[in-house]
């Protein structure tokens, strides 16, 4: 049996081969096409049980199978798997484009809304139907026939270009390596990073040390290595990935212009002014103007703090390190030196207190305390020996399971993310529990020692865990709005950013730190230094995110490729407006901005800051009532996590907080208010 067609339980990762993809997807597409035709041809008035349920059951199988293919292509990419993925991506894209324009299906939804059954449906079911009706319009269902044809072509081309963008970035990252013969050239590099570089060289059959552009290799060099020339070399390689400075076949520059042009054409076909307007049609924000105003208001508050941060780094570089002109490849290094001098600790020192098993145990204890859930190791087939599997129980009942894949490796997409493998669904005779993927790119264990995480990596883990909990702790059993499904994109970061706050609490850290050699918990004096340094350069980090957000919104609202200005021109204008750190001219950040060109954040990157207002304000409820308060935790679960996309995110926030969101907590958490 084809493992991609087995829906009796968890994915069969030990059995899935690239050769399974084509026949499985072809069969599921044919089955769903036949199902749609059957439902559309049925003369009876559509009902929830007779129309919605069977349609969603068919679509769920297709979604689950493709999710496995998509996931494998991200975490264990190979030429054969990539070929199978790229061969089937156009089929998947065309199927959903056809579905969104199927007037017969559209008519069924409209008939259901105007039927007597509408009054008997609950609010969740009504929201699903309303969301579908909206998506039919956004999918081109009301377009003239000739425009429908063009719209479908655009959808397919955009899907292919986005996939190609991600492939170029992955290949450019994996292709680079730099071998260093002598340890003295890596002076300052932490011992574990040095050992990892030596081990990487040995794998290639070489002596010395191997450096790559994978974050666990790249970042320690930029942060600790005294060798300024080496930092410059690696920096140049990193910021020019997938650009005209490398192989032409991996250059993302033409893809960016094509993607933007096609998105603009798509918006025009739908009757919108810009693609940003299309993007915001399904989000909390009402217009590009409102988003720009929101971002610029934050910038006006944050930029003075950012400028102060930047002035301090430059002064320290000049006075203490003899660096008269601070270059981009110096910033992380000098910043780390300044932090060590000011707060008398380093990231490397803190890292020794965060071995992986202790961190995971601390995370699980936190969730047990505030939500009353239990997390245990579980059994499942995985795609790689490093991937683990867990189950979440509440009062002895299984509520969800998740895969955890923490380490960076060749063939794995960079960054960190959460995705859904299986959604919670009412199967009539039982409730199908949800399953999620949590993926990071941290340093792997070396020898007999466990992996050690920086505090930033711990924060990343908690962030992705927040996304996972949003999917796994849902109470909604209708798949289109269960878990993360159906949640407005600019609210989907609320649970993830909310979780980050716990990484700064003593009552949490004291339960999730043990020195890798001595076993002692994080000393209170070191914790106090971490807290004192918590907002170190927060102004610079804050405006950097605003820079990305404004750039994203501007290139998707009014910018036309090939009209005399480039995306780099737009980025430079944004930097002049909000940034304090201006990278060198050769920096090609857009060519690696996969969030908006190969992910779901196009004209939506602002969502991180938008949701951060919500998450900071939500966390303030814990600060006001006790950060480990199980009563507040249960309320957060039931009003935010449990409801998924079954109601508007603002309604969920107000149900939890009792009022509209306020910006004060965000500014305070970032040290940019008088209260801070």
Q: Which residues are catalytic?
A: 464
Distance, CA of 417 to CA of 434 (rounded, Å): 17
Distance, CA of 304 to CA of 10 (rounded, Å): 51
Distance, CA of 336 to CA of 500 (rounded, Å): 22
**In angstroms, how far is CA 394 from the centroid of its own chain?**
27
Is residue 585 classed exposed, middle or buried when 0-12, 13-18 and 19+ CB atoms within 10 A define those classes? exposed
**In angstroms, how far is CA 189 from the centroid of its own chain?**
29
Question: How far separated are the first and last CA of the chain, in Å rounded?
Answer: 61
Structure-token pair, residue 494: 């609320």
Taking the CA atoms of 558, 560, 564 and 568 in sequence, report the sign of the dihedral they define.
Answer: positive
Is residue 609 classed exposed, middle or buried when 0-12, 13-18 and 19+ CB atoms within 10 A define those classes? buried
Q: Cβ distance 645 to 480 under 8 Å?
A: yes
Q: Cβ distance 179 to 201 under 8 Å?
A: yes
For residue 494, give every residue at least 6 positions away whose Cβ sits within 8 Å of its Cβ, in sequence order, or none. Answer: 611, 614, 615, 618, 640, 649, 653
Structure-token pair, residue 305: 């703090």
Q: Cβ distance 409 to 457 under 8 Å?
A: no
Q: Cβ distance 269 to 150 under 8 Å?
A: yes
Bridge pairing between strands 177-180 and 209-212: antiparallel
Burial 649-674 (b: 16+ CB within 10 A, else e): beebbeebbeeebebebbbbbbebee
Q: What strands lie across the sheet with 435-442, from one edge to the other?
A: 373-377, 388-394, 397-407, 435-442, 417-422
What is the number of other CB atoms lying within 10 angstroms of the CB of residue 194? Answer: 18
Q: Cβ distance 510 to 362 under 8 Å?
A: no
Number of Cα atoms under 13 Å in the Cβ half of residue 375:
23
Eight-class DSSP state of 301:
H
Q: For helices 607-625 and 538-555, what crossing angle results, to 10°?
A: 140
Structure-token pair, residue 329: 């490849």
Q: Cβ distance 372 to 556 under 8 Å?
A: no
**In angstroms, how far is CA 343 from the centroid of its own chain?**
31
Q: Cβ distance 522 to 506 under 8 Å?
A: no
Token pair 């995705």 in the structure block, residue: 419
């Amino acid at each position: 049996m084809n493992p991609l067609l087995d829906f009796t339980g968890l994915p069969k990762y030990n059995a899935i081969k690239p050769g399974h993809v084509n026949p499985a997807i072809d069969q599921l597409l044919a089955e769903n096409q036949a199902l749609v035709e059957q439902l559309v041809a049925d003369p009876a008035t559509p009902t929830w049980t007779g129309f919605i349920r069977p349609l969603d059951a068919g679509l769920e199988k297709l979604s689950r199978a493709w999710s496995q293919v998509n996931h494998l292509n991200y975490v264990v990419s190979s030429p054969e798997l990539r070929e199978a993925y790229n061969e089937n991506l156009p089929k998947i894209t065309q199927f959903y484009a056809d579905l969104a324009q199927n007037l017969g299906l559209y008519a069924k939804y409209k008939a259901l809304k105007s039927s007597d059954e509408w009054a008997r449906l609950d609010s969740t079911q009504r929201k699903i139907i309303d969301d579908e009706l909206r998506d039919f319009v956004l999918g081109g269902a009301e377009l003239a026939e000739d425009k429908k044809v063009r719209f479908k072509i655009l959808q397919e081309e955009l899907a292919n270009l986005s996939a190609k963008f991600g492939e170029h970035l992955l290949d450019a990252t994996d292709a680079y390596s730099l071998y260093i013969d002598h340890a003295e050239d890596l002076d300052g590099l932490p011992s574990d990073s040095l050992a990892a570089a030596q081990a990487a060289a040995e794998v290639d059959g070489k002596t010395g040390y191997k450096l790559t552009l994978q974050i666990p290799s790249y970042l320690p060099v930029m942060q600790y290595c005294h060798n300024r020339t080496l930092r410059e070399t690696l920096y140049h390689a990193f910021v020019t990935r997938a650009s005209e400075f490398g192989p032409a076949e991996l250059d993302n520059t033409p893809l960016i212009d094509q993607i933007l042009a096609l998105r603009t054409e798509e918006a025009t076909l739908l009757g919108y002014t810009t693609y940003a307007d299309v993007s915001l049609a399904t989000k909390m924000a009402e217009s590009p103007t409102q988003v720009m105003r929101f971002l610029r208001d934050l910038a006006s508050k944050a930029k003075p703090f950012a400028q102060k941060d930047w002035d301090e780094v430059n002064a320290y570089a000049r006075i203490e390190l003899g660096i008269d002109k601070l270059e981009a490849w110096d910033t992380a290094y000098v910043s780390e030196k300044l932090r060590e001098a000011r707060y008398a600790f380093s990231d490397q020192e803190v890292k020794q207190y965060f071995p992986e098993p202790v961190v995971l145990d601390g995370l699980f204890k936190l969730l047990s305390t505030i939500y009353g859930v239990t997390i245990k190791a579980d059994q499942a087939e995985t795609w790689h020996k490093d991937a683990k599997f867990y189950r979440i129980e509440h009062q002895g009942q299984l509520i969800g399971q998740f895969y955890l894949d923490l380490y960076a490796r060749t063939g794995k997409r960079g960054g960190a993310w959460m995705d859904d493998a299986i959604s919670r669904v009412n199967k009539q005779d039982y409730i199908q529990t949800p399953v999620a993927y949590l993926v990071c790119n941290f340093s792997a264990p070396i020898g007999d020692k466990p992996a050690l995480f920086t505090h930033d990596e711990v924060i990343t883990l908690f962030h992705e865990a927040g996304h996972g909990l949003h999917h796994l702790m849902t109470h909604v059993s209708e798949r289109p709005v269960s878990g993360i499904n159906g949640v407005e994109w600019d609210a989907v970061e609320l649970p993830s950013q909310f979780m980050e706050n716990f990484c700064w609490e003593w009552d949490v850290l004291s339960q999730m730190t043990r020195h890798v050699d001595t076993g002692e918990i994080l000393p209170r004096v070191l914790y106090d230094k971490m807290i004192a340094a918590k907002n170190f350069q927060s102004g610079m980090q804050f405006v950097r995110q605003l820079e990305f957000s404004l750039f994203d919104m501007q290139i998707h609202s009014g910018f036309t490729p090939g009209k005399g200005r480039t995306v780099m021109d737009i980025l430079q204008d944004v930097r002049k407006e909000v940034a304090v750190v201006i990278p060198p001219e050769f920096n090609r950040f857009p060519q690696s901005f996969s969030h908006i060109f190969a992910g779901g954040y196009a004209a939506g990157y602002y969502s991180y800051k938008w949701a951060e207002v919500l998450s900071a304000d939500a966390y303030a409820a814990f600060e006001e009532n006790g950060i480990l308060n199980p009563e507040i935790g249960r309320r957060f679960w039931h009003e935010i996590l449990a409801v998924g996309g079954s109601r508007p995110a603002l309604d969920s926030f107000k149900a939890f907080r009792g009022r509209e969101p306020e910006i004060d907590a965000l500014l305070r958490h970032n040290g940019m208010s008088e209260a801070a």
